[in-house]
Amino acid sequence: MSQKKIKNALISVFHKDNLEPIIHQLNKLGVNIYSTGGTQSFIEELNVAVTPVENLTSYPSILGGRVKTLHPKIFGGILSRRELDSDVAQLTEYEIPEIDLVIVDLYPFEDTVESGAGEQDIIEKIDIGGISLIRAAAKNYKDVVIVSSRNQYEYVLNLLQDKNGTTDIEDRKHLAKLAFNVSSHYDTAIFNWFNNDEEKYFKQSITQSQVLRYGENPHQEGVFYGDLEAMFDKLHGKELSYNNLLDVDAAVNLMAEFPDKPTFAVLKHNNACGLATRDNLLDAWKDALAGDPVSAFGGIIITNKKIDLATAEEINNLFCEVVIAPAYEDAALDMLKQKKNRIILVQNKVELPKKQFRTILNGVLAQDKDMKTANRNDFTVVTKKAPTDQEIKDLEFANKLVKHTKSNTIVFAKNEQLLASGTGQTSRVDALKQAVIKANAFGFDLNGAVMASDAFFPFPDCVELAKNAGITAVVQPGGSIKDQESIDYCDANDMAMVTTGIRHFRH
């Protein structure tokens, strides 16, 4: 039969929040309730009749609570097939009640790991009985309702109320699907803790998701898996799109390189088209926008400081998709909200993943996130001329930016401002030429500017072109078999070059 009436329920949960209304509803429906330990006490305090599991199994909870429900009289009642005469006969023979509803959750394994608890405490939070009950009840969804998480309490309460304690096969199969999601996520977390990335198996599980309007293009479906509400407080605007999220991710990672002085960045298609660090926020915004005011149209804006009214008034003159900041003055927020669809986000402090994944071919690529950023302490001066203090500051600035720009890339900077970049080119020379053209197009004087490259120079033609454009100092990883040719050119033309030993390819 598709419809099943709930007559007997087993309830054993760690989290008891919002469980009370379900207990009262089951009692109202005349359902017999079996329970254990703390849950049993909780139900008794509600003045609702409850039968201890020990009365059914004739065994007490043993081994410090490790074994409570692992018994044939429990699992027989859950796994029995009601339409199979032999199963029904065995239940009768062994005096096993049919259990029609199982409400159980799992010990908080992940929370215990995150708390920094010791190994033994973590081990004790590996649930055995709970996970077994979930799997058994979900397997037998044709006859049994499984509630495997407190997140399902509201849904189940409504179900009990609306259908008067009766469920359809669709209800039970839906909850079984959720149950296997809970159990598989739990097992993934346990494996990853044990494995500690030693054995190379790809096991990742994220239980939260947000369906997007579409993917990269309107004909593609898109979903974000993760907790955006933990990452951002959305104060205004439409929902973030797939492409917005790619740009926001690039923006957040770039701005993490600039934690101190007021800095603004403008991004488009995952690349910065404007970036500036200044003593005050308004100047940082104006100089970031000056980097490429054309590409900034429809872009993503991010800063590391609270946005004030004066800065917001300037931003409001530009059409931009998203504004991200750690905070906003009230008047600044009102100003930015004048554009109906503009997305305004407050970035919260959230630890970002240190692993990156990408689907390719018939598998997945995984790598450590690029966490290295060279600074002046890592620079090796390889030319006769050393960079000046200002050039070193600009080389650090440009090197941070080149790390977050699509390869092949060249970045020009001066006075902690992005002057131009060549991005995503198939040759480094083309990237450099593109950067020169862009700098000239927006009226920047490259004399005294510095250049950063994401990878080494295979030939000296790049430093020659840079010199002709006015560049006086260069930062690059080094490592080419023809490094010396580029160094020799710099020496012959009064240029400074430093190497970092760290390549920053970004594909």
Residue 424: which region, alpha, beta or left (left: phi > 0; alpha: psi -120 to 50)? left
Question: Are the CB atoms for 385 and 498 separated by under 8 Å?
Answer: no
The active-site residue, picked from 7, 16, 139, 393, is 139
Contacts of 248 (CB under 8 A, 6+ apart): 240, 300, 322, 324, 345
Measure the CA–CA gap between 106 and 482, rounded to whole angstroms: 60
Rounded to 10 deg, the angle between the 72-79 and 129-139 helix axes is 30
Measure the CA–CA gap between 170 and 168, rounded to whole angstroms: 5
Interior CA angle at 305 toward 301 and 309, to 5°? 80
Which of 460, 425, 418 has the alpha carbon at shortest distance from 442? 418
Contacts of 41 (CB under 8 A, 6+ apart): none
The active-site residue, picked from 261, 269, 286, 393, is 269
Measure the CA–CA gap between 128 and 107, rounded to whole angstroms: 9
Which pair of structure tokens corresponds to residue 312?
A: 């917001």
Question: 40: helix, coil or strand?
Answer: helix
Burial of 62 (0-12, 13-18, 19+ CB in 10 A): exposed
Rounded to 10 deg, the angle between the 20-28 and 153-162 helix axes is 20
Q: What is the DSSP letter of 62?
A: B
Between the alpha carbon of residue 406 and those of residues 56, 219, 381, 473, the distances in Å are: 65, 26, 26, 22
Measure the CA–CA gap between 147 and 55, rounded to whole angstroms: 23
Q: Provide, for the chain, the percentages of residues in helix, strand and coil under a 3-state DSSP scheme, each rounded to the nearest 5.
A: 40, 20, 40
Measure the CA–CA gap between 449 and 470, rounded to whole angstroms: 7
Question: Are the CB atoms for 453 and 402 separated by under 8 Å?
Answer: yes
Question: 263: helix, coil or strand?
Answer: strand
Beta strands (DSSP E) in 308-430 are: 320-325, 343-347, 355-360, 363-368, 380-381, 410-413, 418-422
User: Is 139 considered catalytic here?
Assistant: yes
Measure the CA–CA gap between 431 and 434, rounded to whole angstroms: 5
Sole residue written with tokens 């803790």: 193
User: Is 185 considered catalytic here?
Assistant: no
Measure the CA–CA gap between 165 and 30, rounded to whole angstroms: 9
Measure the CA–CA gap between 376 and 392, rounded to whole angstroms: 7
Question: Are the CB atoms for 305 and 313 separated by under 8 Å?
Answer: no
Question: Are the CB atoms for 145 and 102 separated by under 8 Å?
Answer: yes
Catalytic site residues?
Answer: 139, 269
